[in-house]
């Protein structure tokens, strides 16, 4: 049995084991743009699809995004969105070069990135104190949420920008948590393409080869883009894997200046590593037994694996019938297969669930499933002028269907002593205890109106009617169940541009999420509802290239499930959670050479109603305070081409459980990058957790703690062409 890391392998030899992808990455650079040229004498006007830096889906200017289509689907200046929004721009992604989407969110105020520590399976985060896990992710405005263990993980290299909309957003996006959402905007073709090839090598013998290239025909009516990546490596856990093959293709057809259709497709194959909770000496077991052996605590059983393969295909189409009337449609179908095996720490218990003083219980868990998501959003936008005001009215109908079909097996029969713990034992894949198909279908009809008055005031209001159906088919018993829910949600908000760079705003917004099951009396659970009141101020000094923002918010979630005091084992919906807080953010260009991102959050997160004895306690995973700052400096003069970036991230103390019995200490992390650009080349060195801080990302009262990510280093050589 192998407990140590695999021997070092030359990066190129490792990558060349994937000939199909290597051929695609290398050969695509040789495809000339002229192959897309069309014959004919008619030359149409060039259509610029990304609309430049001011487009609501473009990468932004530096660290600033001027417009967004996430909070108002029509696409408006960020200052006219009456809720807090943050955009991780193309420049920020390039400077910090995050390995995962959750890493890209590390400097967003109000967001705790990687709350579950070293866990490569999914992109996980907490927004405004609510643990979204993977249930708050959208891609190109369409749902990209997980179902069961199907996560549809996205690689940052295929991403153009990331919008974080904070607070309830069910009017535009249907069933979604009151925390908000993360909308990931995929790279797409451009009629002014720039290609890049890159090779990187980093910690844990991780090697990666990537290519991003594109072209357009001479008429300016057809553009394409190919993004590919292959990686083989690991994380800090011995015996882990961090392998990925990715190909993403975009094709845009713009026959006239009123019509554009962009087709987007991708294929991705991953071999990743799950998280690993472990008991702590002096907390989970007697201190006298000592710490776990290093070769046990820093490794995992070789039976573990998390292998997935996903594909997606879709389109984004827009046609303007006139200056006033526009039709848009977004569609995507995605599929993922998941082969997951995990021997995980199940607490200091024996197989009969009696406490154990010196022996850890491990459970073998196995999943084989196939998940699909199909989403369609059709919008009709009408723009009109009356009384000196501009009005944008958007009607929309969206449909989504998520299905996961597979088996789960589980057995908790593996005992490992604390003293002398090792992985030298066999694990047998458990027989399925569950074999079922779950299908969730949602339909929504929404309307949003954005009124822009001549005095600088904008008013945004929206209303939605949603219907959700959840069906379960048990393949073992042959039984079926069905649950239907419906909800009406609304929002209203206003902004006021005072003309001196100051833009105050205020809003009220609602959300809903469904709950599966019934009460003791057989009544179906109603959706959990969220309401938010928010007031804020944005400030952009004229000509400064800076944006400042402050937001005060009060979010209440009602109809939360809590224990039924009269019937053990059943739940009632009398629970309630309230989160109140302040977020401060500054980002942009201080000088021509210095760019900065800074944020601070203070949050009072409380369980206000509960039958579980938790009323009055703080919500778990929620630090009372957070702060971060990132600075990027581009040298001039003799040192021109040299760039230095550095950041600090502080996450305050939190609780690991609703009973507030297990505290999670605060931590401070440092990151840095240094790069040198010459001609079309760049050499970059990046480090996260620079001082290799040893900390717990979270803890639980029954299964110990999970480590946060240690120091990770990457050296990247890239060339634009």
pLDDT one-digit tens code per residue, 232-273: 999 998 889 999 999 999 999 999 999 999 999 999 999 999
Does residue 106 have a pLDDT over 60? yes
Q: Which residues of 586-621 are buried (b: 16+ CB within 10 A; e: fewer)?
A: bbbbeeeeebbbbbbbebebbbbebbeebeebbbbb
What is the tally of helices (H) and strands (E) in the chain? 6, 36
Q: For residues 652-662, b (16+ Cβ closer than 10 Å) or e, as one string?
A: bebbbbbebeb
What's the angle, vertex CA 315, arms to CA 312 and CA 316, rounded to 5? 135
- 433: β partners: none
The pLDDT value given to residue 58: 85
**Quick check: 321 pLDDT over 90?**
yes
Instruction: At 333, list the tokens.
Output: 């179908």
46 has pLDDT over 50: no
What DSSP string describes 420-447? T----S--PPPPEEEEEEEEEEEEEEEE
Calculate mean pLDDT across residues 330-351: 97
Contact 711, 720 (CB under 8 A): no
For residue 19, name the pLDDT band (cuts at 50, 70, 90): very low
349, 358, 384, 615, 633 from 659: Cα distances, Å: 20, 25, 54, 9, 45
pLDDT score recorded for residue 34: 36
Strands 159-166 and 696-700: unpaired
Residue 489 near residue 464, CB atoms below 8 Å: yes
Tokens encoding 607: 């369980």
| DSSP-derived secondary structure letter, 708 | P
Give me the pLDDT at residue 16, please. Answer: 43
pLDDT at 52 over 80: no
Return the number of other C-beta atoms located less than 10 Å from residue 116's C-beta.
21
Check residue 542 and give its pLDDT: 87
Strand pairing of 125-127 and 196-202? unpaired
Structure-model confidence comparison of residues 515 and 22, the more confident one: 515
Considering only CA atoms, which of 102, 103, 66, 98 is closest in space to residue 85?
66
Which three-class secondary structure string do you get for 149-179? CECCCCCHHHEEEEEEEECCCHHHHCCECCC
Per-residue pLDDT band for 60 (boundaries 50, 70, 90) equals confident
Beta strand pairing call for 180-186 and 137-139: parallel
Q: Of 45-59, 81-95, 448-462, where does mean pLDDT reach its minimum?
A: 45-59
Residue 8 confidence class, pLDDT cut points 50, 70, 90: very low
Domain boundaries, the chain: 44-720
Report residue 515 CA to chain centroid gap.
23
Q: Are 630 and 650 in contact (CB under 8 A)?
A: no
Q: Which residues, in sequence order, are bridge partners of residue 166? A: 180
Write down the pLDDT at residue 614.
94
pLDDT surpasses 80 at 49: no
Rounded to the nearest 10°, the torsion over CA 28, 29, 31, 32 is 160
Average pLDDT of 649-676?
A: 96
Work out the percent of the chain whose per-residue pLDDT is above 90. Answer: 87
Structure confidence at residue 512 (pLDDT): 96
Separation CA 607–CA 613 (nearest Å): 10
- pLDDT (average), residues 489-516: 97
Residue of 665, 713, 675, 714 lying closest to 691 (CA atoms): 713
Q: What 8-state DSSP symbol labels residue 18?
A: -
**CA atoms of 559 and 576, how far apart (whole Å):** 7
Q: Round the average pLDDT of the chain to a whole number and report it.
A: 91
Neighbours of 192 (CB within 10 A): 12
Q: What is the CATH number of domain 44-720?
A: 2.40.170.20
Q: Is 95 helix (H, G, I), strand (E, B) or coil?
A: helix
Q: How far is CA 495 from CA 134, 178, 541, in A?
A: 31, 21, 17
Query: pLDDT tens for residues 403-432?
Result: 999 999 999 999 999 999 999 999 999 999
The rounded Cα 482 to chain-centroid distance in angstroms is 30
**Inter-residue contact 261 to 317 (CB < 8 Å):** yes
- Between 191 and 26, name the one with better pLDDT: 191
Distances 314 to 221, 493, 614 between C-alpha atoms, Å: 19, 32, 45
The torsion of the CA quartet 12, 14, 16, 18, rounded to 10 degrees, works out to -150
* Residue 544: pLDDT band with limits 50, 70, 90: confident
Q: For residues 104 and 88, is the Cβ–Cβ distance under 8 A?
A: yes
pLDDT tens profile 115-133? 998 889 999 999 999 998 7
Query: Can you read off the two tokens belonging to residue 508?
Result: 């009220």
| CA–CA gap between residue 617 and residue 663 (Å, rounded) | 12
SS3 123: coil
Please list, residue by residue across 195-205, b when 16 or more beta carbons sit within 10 angstroms of its beta carbon and e when fewer do: bbbbbbbbbbb
Give this prediction's pTM: 0.91
For residue 473, pLDDT beyond 80: yes
| Range of weakest confidence among 35-39, 167-171, 268-272, 357-361 | 35-39
What are the E-state strand segments in 95-232? 111-113, 125-127, 130-133, 137-139, 142-143, 159-166, 180-186, 196-202, 206-216, 222-232
Query: What tens digit of pLDDT does each residue of 601-637 get?
Result: 999 999 999 999 999 999 999 999 999 999 999 999 9
């Amino acid at each position: 049995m192998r407990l140590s890391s695999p021997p070092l392998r030359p990066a190129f030899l490792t990558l060349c084991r994937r000939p199909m992808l290597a051929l695609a990455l290398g050969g695509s650079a040789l495809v000339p743009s002229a192959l897309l040229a069309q014959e004919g004498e008619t030359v149409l006007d060039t259509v610029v699809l990304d609309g430049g830096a001011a487009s609501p889906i473009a990468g932004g200017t530096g660290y600033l995004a001027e417009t967004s289509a996430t909070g108002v689907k029509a696409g408006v200046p960020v200052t006219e969105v009456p809720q807090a929004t943050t955009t991780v721009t193309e420049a920020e992604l390039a400077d910090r070069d995050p390995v995962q989407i959750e890493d890209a969110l590390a400097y967003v105020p109000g967001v705790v990135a990687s709350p579950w520590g070293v866990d490569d399976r999914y992109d996980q985060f907490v927004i405004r104190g609510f643990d979204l896990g993977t249930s708050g992710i959208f891609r190109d405005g369409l749902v990209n949420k997980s179902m069961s263990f199907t996560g549809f993980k996205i690689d940052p290299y295929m991403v153009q920008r990331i919008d974080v909309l904070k607070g309830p957003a069910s009017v535009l996006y249907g069933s979604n948590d009151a925390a908000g959402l993360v909308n990931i905007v995929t790279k797409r073709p451009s009629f002014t393409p720039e290609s890049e090839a890159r090779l990187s090598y980093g910690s844990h013998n991780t090697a990666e080869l990537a290519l991003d290239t594109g072209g357009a025909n001479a008429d300016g009516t057809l553009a394409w883009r190919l993004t590919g990546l292959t990686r083989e490596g690991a994380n800090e856990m011995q015996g882990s894997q961090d392998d990925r093959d990715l190909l993403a293709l975009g094709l845009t057809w713009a026959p006239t200046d009123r019509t554009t259709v962009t087709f987007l497709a991708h294929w991705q194959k991953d071999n990743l590593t799950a998280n690993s909770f472990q008991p702590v000496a002096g907390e989970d077991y007697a201190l006298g037994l000592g710490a776990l052996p290093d070769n046990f605590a820093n490794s995992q059983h070789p039976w573990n694996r998390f292998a997935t393969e996903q594909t997606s295909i879709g389109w984004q189409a827009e046609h303007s019938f006139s200056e006033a009337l526009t039709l848009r449609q977004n569609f995507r179908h995605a599929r993922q297969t998941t082969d997951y095996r995990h021997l995980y720490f199940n607490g200091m218990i024996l197989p009969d669930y009696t406490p154990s003083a010196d022996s850890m219980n491990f459970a073998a868990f196995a999943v084989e499933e196939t998940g699909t998501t199909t989403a369609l959003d059709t919008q009709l936008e009408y723009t009109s002028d009356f009384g000196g005001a501009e009005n944008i009215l958007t009607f929309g109908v969206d449909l989504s269907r998520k299905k996961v079909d597979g088996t789960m097996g589980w057995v908790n029969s593996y005992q490992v002593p604390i003293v002398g713990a090792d992985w030298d034992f066999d694990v047998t894949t458990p027989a399925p205890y569950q074999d079922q198909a779950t299908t969730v279908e949602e339909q929504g009809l929404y309307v949003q109106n954005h009124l822009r008055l001549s005095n600088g005031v904008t008013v945004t209001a929206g209303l939605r009617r949603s219907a959700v159906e959840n069906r379960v088919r048990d393949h073992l018993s042959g039984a079926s169940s069905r649950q239907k829910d419906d909800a009406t949600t609304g929002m209203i908000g206003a902004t006021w541009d005072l003309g001196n760079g100051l833009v105050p705003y205020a809003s009220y917004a609602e959300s809903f999420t469904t709950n599966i099951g019934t009460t003791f009396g057989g009544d179906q659970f109603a959706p959990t509802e969220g309401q938010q009141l928010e007031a804020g101020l944005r400030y952009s000094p004229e000509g400064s290239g800076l944006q400042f923002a402050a937001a005060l918010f009060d979010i209440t979630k009602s109809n939360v499930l809590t224990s039924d005091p009269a019937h053990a084992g059943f739940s009632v919906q009398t629970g309630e959670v309230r989160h109140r807080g302040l977020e401060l953010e500054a980002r942009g260009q201080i000088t021509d050479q210095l760019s900065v991102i800074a944020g601070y959050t203070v949050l009072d997160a409380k369980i206000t109603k509960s039958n579980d004895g938790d009323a009055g306690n703080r919500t778990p995973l929620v630090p009372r305070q957070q702060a971060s700052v990132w600075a990027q400096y581009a040298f001039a003069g003799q040192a021109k081409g040299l760039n230095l970036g550095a950041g600090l991230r502080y996450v305050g103390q939190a609780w690991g459980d609703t009973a507030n019995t297990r505290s999670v200490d605060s931590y401070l992390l440092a990151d840095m990058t240094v790069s040198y650009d010459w001609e079309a080349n760049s050499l970059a060195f990046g480090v996260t957790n620079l001082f290799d801080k040893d900390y717990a990302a979270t803890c639980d009262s029954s299964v110990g703690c999970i480590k946060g990510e240690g120091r990770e280093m990457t050296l990247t050589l890239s060339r634009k062409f």
